[in-house]
């Protein structure tokens, strides 16, 4: 067996270990190749990918640089480095690498997919859509791409188009949990609450630990007026993730609706322990204080919150004004 054949066998062994989840074993296999053949670009790239997954982004970056010095035409290495750069917060660098990756290999689906996700995260919905459609032209049966396109169209408010893409995804794979989940979200946005609940339950049946799907189902149930069932779902979320802030605040809101101020304060307080600056949690925490008669403490929170911007700052200003008016009226009555 030649040295090249031995290196190829070792790389294949490393890939097999990597796919099996044995990152340390995969790294050892790639390192063995590089010890014998320092200019093996594939081993450099693959070892960089492993190091990135292990959280050693500095070493991963060095290995990607080395791979590209050996072979500047490696599209996948640019795509891998883009992922690393995105993790480091360098979105511009990540997009630049993905542009090169696609230029080198216009059919690099991973690069196109990652590029679309970066556009989506940046709120550039049009760019995300066009990139996903380009990828789908190459792989029309790729379910994940269809789900990503459906999600993008939903965020753009094109709900019928979004539902159509998600329906195609489910025709391809009826067990695609993310497709059922996103379809439920789109149906909720379309005010089709019954269908939304059905789709979200399908998603949860496939992945019972998905707190996002459960929280979305709870939201649908709350809008439908089924508070008891919503509470059950929210409590299930907290069983999975005791620090799920949205669910904690939602439970606080439901408690306030039943005039259970102490319970509401407990839930919102727990939310603030996890996310101390969450404006929604702060607002309902203050509201629970006001409902329980602790006007002074409630005003302190409202006055602080109203100095910010956004929906809950405006609501806090309204509540602060109302409480101050009540205090002034009470003071005049006493006089």
pLDDT tens track for 121-150: 999 999 999 999 999 999 999 999 999 999
Q: CB within 8 A of 297, min separation 6: which ones?
A: 286, 289
CA 75/CA 110 separation, integer angstroms: 10
Residue 329 has pLDDT above 80, yes or no: no
Average pLDDT score over residue span 89-110: 95
Percent of residues, the chain, with pLDDT higher than 70: 97
**Among 23-32, 95-104, 156-165, whose mean pLDDT is lowest?**
23-32
Mean pLDDT value across the chain? 94
The Cβ of residue 132 has, within 10 Å, a number of other Cβ atoms equal to 28
The Cβ of residue 318 has, within 10 Å, a number of other Cβ atoms equal to 11
CA 215/CA 184 separation, integer angstroms: 12
CA 82/CA 174 separation, integer angstroms: 32
For the chain, the first-to-last Cα distance in angstroms comes to: 102
- Give the model's confidence band at 10: pLDDT under 50 very low, under 70 low, under 90 confident, else very high: confident
Residue 206 has pLDDT above 60, yes or no: yes
The pLDDT value recorded for residue 332 is 63
- Give the model's confidence band at 285: pLDDT under 50 very low, under 70 low, under 90 confident, else very high: very high
- Give the model's confidence band at 1: pLDDT under 50 very low, under 70 low, under 90 confident, else very high: low
Q: What is the CA radius of gyration of the chain?
A: 26
Q: What share of the chain is helix, strand, coil (3-state, %, to 5)?
A: 80, 0, 20
Q: What is the token pair recorded at 317?
A: 């200003």
Q: CB within 8 A of 153, min separation 6: which ones?
A: 129, 159, 161, 162, 165
pLDDT tens track for 229-281: 999 999 999 999 999 999 999 999 999 999 999 999 999 999 999 999 999 99
79 three-class SS: helix
């Amino acid at each position: 067996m030649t040295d090249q054949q031995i290196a190829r066998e070792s790389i294949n062994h490393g890939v097999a270990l990597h796919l099996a989840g044995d990152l340390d074993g995969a790294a050892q296999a790639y390192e063995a190749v590089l010890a014998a053949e320092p200019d093996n670009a594939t081993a450099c790239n693959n070892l960089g990918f492993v190091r990135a997954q292990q959280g050693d982004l500095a070493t991963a970056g060095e290995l990607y640089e080395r791979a590209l010095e050996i072979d500047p035409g490696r599209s996948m290495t640019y795509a891998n480095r883009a992922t690393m750069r995105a993790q480091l917060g360098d979105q511009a660098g990540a997009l630049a690498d993905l542009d090169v990756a696609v230029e080198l290999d216009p059919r690099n689906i991973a690069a196109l997919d990652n590029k679309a996700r970066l556009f989506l995260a940046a709120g550039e919905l049009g760019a995300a859509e066009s990139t996903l459609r380009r990828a789908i032209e190459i792989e029309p049966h790729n379910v994940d791409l269809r789900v990503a396109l459906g999600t993008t169209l939903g965020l753009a408010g094109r709900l019928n188009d979004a539902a159509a893409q998600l329906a195609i995804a489910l025709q391809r794979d009826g067990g695609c949990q993310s497709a059922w989940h996103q379809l439920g979200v789109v149906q909720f946005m379309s005010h089709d609450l019954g269908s939304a609940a059905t789709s979200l339950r399908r998603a949860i049946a496939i992945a019972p630990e998905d707190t996002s799907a459960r929280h979305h189902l709870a939201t649908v149930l709350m809008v439908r007026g089924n508070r008891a069932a919503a509470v059950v779902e929210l409590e299930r979320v907290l069983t999975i993730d005791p620090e799920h802030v949205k669910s904690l605040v939602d439970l606080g809101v439901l408690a306030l609706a039943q005039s259970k101020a102490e319970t509401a304060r407990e839930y919102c307080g727990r939310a603030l322990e996890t996310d101390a600056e969450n404006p929604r949690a702060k607002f309902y925490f203050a509201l629970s204080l006001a409902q329980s008669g602790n006007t002074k403490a409630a005003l302190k929170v409202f006055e602080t919150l109203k100095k910010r911007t956004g929906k809950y700052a405006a609501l806090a200003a309204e509540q602060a004004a109302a409480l101050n008016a009540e205090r002034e009226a009470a003071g005049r009555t006493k006089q």
